[in-house]
C-alpha cells in the first residue's frame, strides 16, 4: 500500500514505546503525532485531492444555479437573501470533505479492523482507542479543510456574488464552529464504527448514517428552508451542528449571546456523542470477544 | 467484422457469467441485500425530497411544474441507474492499477472490460432504478401530454440512449484512471454531477453550461433535448427539430469514443510489478 511510509510508521511506533516507558501513559505528544500522521496520510494523495476539489466545484455550480432560481422566486426564503443562499452552497461544498457530511473518513477502516480482529492490537496500545481515532480524524479534517475547502469556496466567490464576512473575528468564530462540528461528526461516526463489534456487516448502518448526515446537516437544502415542525426538529438534531450552525456563524446570523448559544449547542452535542462513544467502547471492550487467529 | 462480433459476444457471455456469480453471492445474504437495496432507494429518494421541499415554497422552478421536473428526474435517474448497475464498479480500476490486481485480469482469456465491469456487481443498485421508474410513472400520470406516436417512442428511446451515454462516461472515466490512478472522483462530477444537473430544467442554468453539456460532454442528450420535445417546450439553444431524435446517434458515438479511450488506456498500462 502506498500511503504513510513504512519508515514513518516505525518512527511512530518507537515514539509510542518511548512515551509508554517514560511517562507511564500516553501524553498529548502522542496524539499530536497521530493527528499529524492523519494529516500527512491524506496530503499524500495530491491527485485524489485535486479530483475531489474538481467534483466539489462542479457540484457547487449545479446547486448554485438551482438556488438562484429558488431565491429569485422567493427572495428571503429561510431568512437568507440570494447572496447568503449562494454562500451556503459554497460553504457546504467546502466542508463536505472536512466535516465528512456524507460520512467516510475512518469508520470503514475501524469496522474492518474490528472484523479482522486487528482491533485487539489497537487495544493493546498504550493509547485510548477513541482519542487515537479522534486525533487521526482531526488531522484528516484539518488537511481536507485546507486541501478541499479553500479552492471551491474561492471559485464560488469569484463566480458568484457571495456574502462572505470582512470581520476576521467572524472567520475565527466560524473555524471554532467547524471544529465543534467535526467533533460532533466524529463522535457519531465513531459509534457507527464500533457497531461492528456486534454487527458483522456494518455497511447498512454506515449507509443509514451517511444518509442522515447528508439530509439533516442541510447539505441538500438549508435546514431553515425545511417546513414547519419538521424544520424545527431538524435544527435541534446533532447533524445541524455539522453544517447549518457553522454556515450561519459565517453568514453573521449570530451575535454576542446568540453566538455563544450556538457554539454551546454544538459543544453540548459533542459532549453527548463523544460520551456515548465512550460508553459503547467500554461495553464493547469488556464484553465482546474479538475474533481472529 | 465477424471476428469483432464474435469477440463482443464472447465478452458479453463472460460478463453475464460473472454477474450471475455475484448475484448468487449477494443472494446468500438476502436480508443484507434487501436492506442495502432499500438504502440505495432511500439515498436517491432524499434528492427528490429536497426538490419537494423546494416546491413547497414555489409553484414552478425555472418555469417548470413539479410533474415536469419529476419527468426529468425520473428519466435521468432511470438511465443513470441502469448504467450504474451495469458498469458502476468501473471506478475501481484505479485501485486495481495501484495494488497490481489488474494483472490477474490480463492473464484470463476474457476481455478485461467485461471482467472489470462485472466485478462486484451490485444488484442493490436496482434501488435507484426503481425509484427513477416510480417517479417517471407518477409524472406521466400527472402530466397532461398530448401523446403522439413520436412522443410515445421518444420515452423508451431516451431511457436506453441515456443509459448508453452514462455508460460511455463510466468507461471513459475508468480509462482515465490508467493515466491518473487516484483520480476516481473526477468521474463523479460527470456521473453523479451529470444526473443531478439533468434532474432540473435547463432553463435554470447559464447558457454556456447548457452549451457545454450539449456539445462538449453531450449528456444533455440523456434527457434534456428529447424530454423538452415530449413536454412540448422550446429548446433553450434553439437546436433544429431533428436533434430531438439524435440521442441514439450521440450514444453510439460516445460509446465508440469511450471504447477507443479504454483501448488506449489498457495499452498504456504498466504493471506496478509488486
DSSP string, A108-141: HHHHHHHHHTTHHHHHHSSS-HHHHHHHHHHHHH
pLDDT of residue B256: 96
Q: Average of pLDDT values for A277-288?
A: 88
pLDDT of residue A116: 86
Alpha helices in chain B (DSSP H): 2-27, 30-55, 66-87, 93-99, 102-107, 112-118, 126-142, 149-179, 186-190, 192-199, 207-211, 224-230, 247-267
pLDDT of residue B112: 93
The C-alpha of B72 sits at a distance from chain A's nearest C-alpha, in angstroms, of 14
Q: Return the biggest CA–CA distance within chain B.
A: 62
Checking if the pLDDT of A249 tops 90, the result is yes
Q: Average of pLDDT values for A71-81?
A: 95
Q: CB B57 to CB A59 under 8 A?
A: no
Handedness of CA A19, A25, A26, A29 (dihedral sign): negative
Cα–Cα distance measured from residue B25 to residue B8, given in angstroms and rounded to the nearest whole number: 26
Among B47, B182, B209, the residue with its CB nearest the CB of A51 is B182
| Cβ of residue B62 closer than 8 Å to a chain A Cβ | yes
Q: CB A55 to CB B200 under 8 A?
A: no
Would you say B168 and B257 are in contact if contact means Cβ atoms under 8 Å apart?
A: yes
Instruction: Kindly identify which residue of chain A lies nearest to residue B186, measuring between CA atoms.
Output: A51
pLDDT tier at A291 (50, 70, 90 boundaries)? Answer: low
Measured in residues, chain B has a length of: 274
Would you say B272 and B187 are in contact if contact means Cβ atoms under 8 Å apart?
A: no
pLDDT tier at A3 (50, 70, 90 boundaries)? Answer: very low
Chain segment A201-212, per-residue pLDDT in tens: 778 888 889 999
pLDDT of residue A14: 53
Cα–Cα distance measured from residue A135 to residue A31, given in angstroms and rounded to the nearest whole number: 6
Contacts of B124 (CB under 8 A, 6+ apart): B26, B33, B36, B37, B39, B40
Cα–Cα distance measured from residue B106 to residue B115, given in angstroms and rounded to the nearest whole number: 10
Would you say B258 and B171 are in contact if contact means Cβ atoms under 8 Å apart?
A: yes
CB-defined contacts A:B, below 8 A? 98
pLDDT of residue A188: 96
pLDDT tier at A149 (50, 70, 90 boundaries)? Answer: very high
Q: What is the pTM of this model?
A: 0.90
Residue of B204, B213, B272, B274 to mutate when probing chain A, most A C-beta within 10 A: B204
Q: CB B99 to CB A1 under 8 A?
A: yes
* Residues of A in Cβ contact (< 8 Å) with B188: 55
pLDDT of residue B179: 87
Handedness of CA B151, B71, A156, A148 (dihedral sign): negative
Q: ipTM of this complex > 0.90? A: yes
Among B47, B98, B185, the residue with its CB nearest the CB of A220 is B47
Q: CB A208 to CB B39 under 8 A?
A: yes
Q: CB B42 to CB A211 under 8 A?
A: yes
Residue of B197, B213, B274 to mutate when probing chain A, most A C-beta within 10 A: B197
pLDDT in tens, chain B (274 residues): 788 888 889 999 999 999 999 999 999 888 888 888 998 899 889 999 999 999 999 999 999 999 999 999 999 999 999 999 999 888 889 888 888 889 999 999 899 999 999 988 999 999 999 999 999 999 999 999 889 999 999 999 999 999 999 999 999 999 999 988 888 889 999 999 999 999 999 999 999 999 999 999 999 999 999 999 999 998 889 899 999 999 999 999 999 999 999 999 999 998 876 5
Instruction: Kindly identify which residue of chain A lies nearest to residue B274, measuring between CA atoms.
Output: A1
DSSP lists the bridge partners of residue B64 as B61
Mean of pLDDT over chain A:
89
Cα–Cα distance measured from residue B243 to residue B264, given in angstroms and rounded to the nearest whole number: 30
Among A2, A48, A225, the residue with its CB nearest the CB of B185 is A48
Q: CB B49 to CB A215 under 8 A?
A: yes
pLDDT of residue B44: 87
Q: Average of pLDDT values for A109-135?
A: 90
Q: For chain A, which residues make up each domain, given as ranges?
A: 6-287
Residue of B25, B37, B62 to mutate when probing chain A, most A C-beta within 10 A: B62
* Residues of A in Cβ contact (< 8 Å) with B185: 48, 51-52, 54-55
Tell me which residues of chain B, numbers 19 to 48, contact chain A at a CB-CB cutoff of 8 Å: 29, 32, 35-36, 39, 42-43, 46-47
pLDDT tier at A126 (50, 70, 90 boundaries)? Answer: confident
Q: Average of pLDDT values for A66-86?
A: 96
Measured in residues, chain A has a length of: 293
Amino acid at each position: 500500500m502506498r500511503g504513510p511510509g513504512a519508515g514513518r510508521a516505525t518512527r511512530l511506533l518507537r515514539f509510542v514505546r518511548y512515551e509508554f516507558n517514560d511517562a507511564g501513559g500516553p501524553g498529548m505528544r502522542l496524539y499530536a503525532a497521530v493527528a499529524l500522521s492523519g494529516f500527512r496520510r491524506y496530503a499524500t494523495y495530491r491527485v485524489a485531492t485535486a479530483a475531489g476539489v474538481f467534483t466539489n466545484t462542479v457540484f457547487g455550480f449545479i446547486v448554485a444555479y438551482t438556488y438562484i432560481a429558488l431565491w429569485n422566486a422567493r427572495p428571503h426564503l429561510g431568512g437568507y437573501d440570494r447572496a447568503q443562499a449562494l454562500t451556503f452552497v459554497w460553504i457546504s461544498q467546502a466542508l463536505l470533505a472536512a466535516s465528512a457530511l456524507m460520512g467516510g473518513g475512518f469508520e470503514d477502516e475501524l469496522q474492518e479492523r474490528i472484523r479482522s480482529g486487528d482491533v485487539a492490537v489497537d487495544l493493546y496500545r498504550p493509547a485510548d482507542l477513541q482519542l487515537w481515532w479522534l486525533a487521526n480524524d482531526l488531522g484528516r479534517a484539518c488537511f481536507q479543510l485546507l486541501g478541499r475547502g479553500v479552492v471551491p469556496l474561492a471559485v464560488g466567490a469569484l463566480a458568484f456574488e457571495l456574502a462572505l464576512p470582512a470581520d476576521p473575528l467572524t472567520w475565527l468564530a466560524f473555524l471554532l464552529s467547524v471544529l465543534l462540528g467535526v467533533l460532533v461528526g466524529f463522535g457519531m461516526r465513531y459509534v457507527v464504527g464500533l457497531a461492528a463489534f456486534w454487527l458483522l456487516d456494518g455497511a447498512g448502518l454506515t449507509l443509514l448514517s451517511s444518509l442522515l448526515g447528508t439530509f439533516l446537516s442541510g447539505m441538500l437544502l438549508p435546514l431553515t428552508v425545511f417546513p414547519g415542525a419538521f424544520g424545527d426538529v431538524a435544527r435541534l438534531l446533532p447533524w445541524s451542528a455539522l453544517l447549518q450552525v457553522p454556515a450561519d456563524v459565517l453568514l453573521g446570523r449570530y451575535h454576542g449571546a446568540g453566538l455563544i448559544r450556538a457554539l454551546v449547542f454544538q459543544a453540548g452535542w459533542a459532549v453527548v456523542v463523544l460520551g456515548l462513544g465512550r460508553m459503547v467502547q467500554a461495553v464493547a471492550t469488556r464484553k465482546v470477544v474479538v475474533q481472529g487467529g | 467484422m465477424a471476428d469483432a462480433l464474435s469477440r463482443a459476444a464472447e465478452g458479453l457471455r463472460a460478463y453475464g457469467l460473472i454477474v450471475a456469480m455475484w448475484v448468487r453471492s449477494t443472494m446468500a445474504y438476502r436480508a443484507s441485500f434487501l436492506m442495502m437495496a432499500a438504502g440505495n432507494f432511500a439515498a436517491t429518494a432524499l434528492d427528490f425530497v429536497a426538490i419537494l421541499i423546494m416546491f413547497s415554497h414555489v409553484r414552478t422552478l425555472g418555469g417548470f411544474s413539479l410533474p415536469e421536473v419529476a419527468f426529468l428526474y425520473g428519466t435521468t435517474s432511470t438511465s443513470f441507474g441502469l448504467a450504474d448497475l451495469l458498469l458502476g464498479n468501473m471506478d475501481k480500476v484505479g485501485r486495481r492499477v495501484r495494488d497490481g490486481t489488474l494483472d490477474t485480469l490480463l492473464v484470463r482469456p476474457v476481455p478485461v472490460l467485461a471482467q472489470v465491469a462485472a466485478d462486484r456487481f451490485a444488484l442493490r443498485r436496482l434501488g435507484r432504478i426503481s425509484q427513477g421508474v416510480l417517479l417517471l410513472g407518477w409524472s406521466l400520470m400527472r402530466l397532461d401530454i398530448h401523446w403522439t406516436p413520436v412522443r410515445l417512442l421518444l420515452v423508451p428511446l431516451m431511457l436506453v440512449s441515456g443509459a448508453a451515454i452514462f455508460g460511455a462516461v463510466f468507461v471513459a472515466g475508468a480509462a482515465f484512471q490508467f493515466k491518473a490512478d487516484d483520480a476516481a472522483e473526477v468521474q463523479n462530477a460527470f456521473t453523479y454531477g451529470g444526473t443531478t444537473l439533468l434532474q432540473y430544467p435547463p432553463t435554470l442554468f447559464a447558457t454556456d453550461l447548457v452549451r457545454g453539456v450539449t456539445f462538449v460532454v453531450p449528456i444533455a442528450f440523456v434527457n434534456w433535448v428529447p424530454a423538452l420535445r415530449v413536454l412540448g417546450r422550446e429548446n433553450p439553444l434553439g437546436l433544429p427539430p431533428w436533434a430531438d431524435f439524435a440521442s441514439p446517434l450521440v450514444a453510439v458515438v460516445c460509446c465508440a469514443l469511450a471504447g477507443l479511450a479504454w483501448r488506449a488506456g489498457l495499452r498504456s498500462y504498466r504493471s506496478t510489478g509488486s
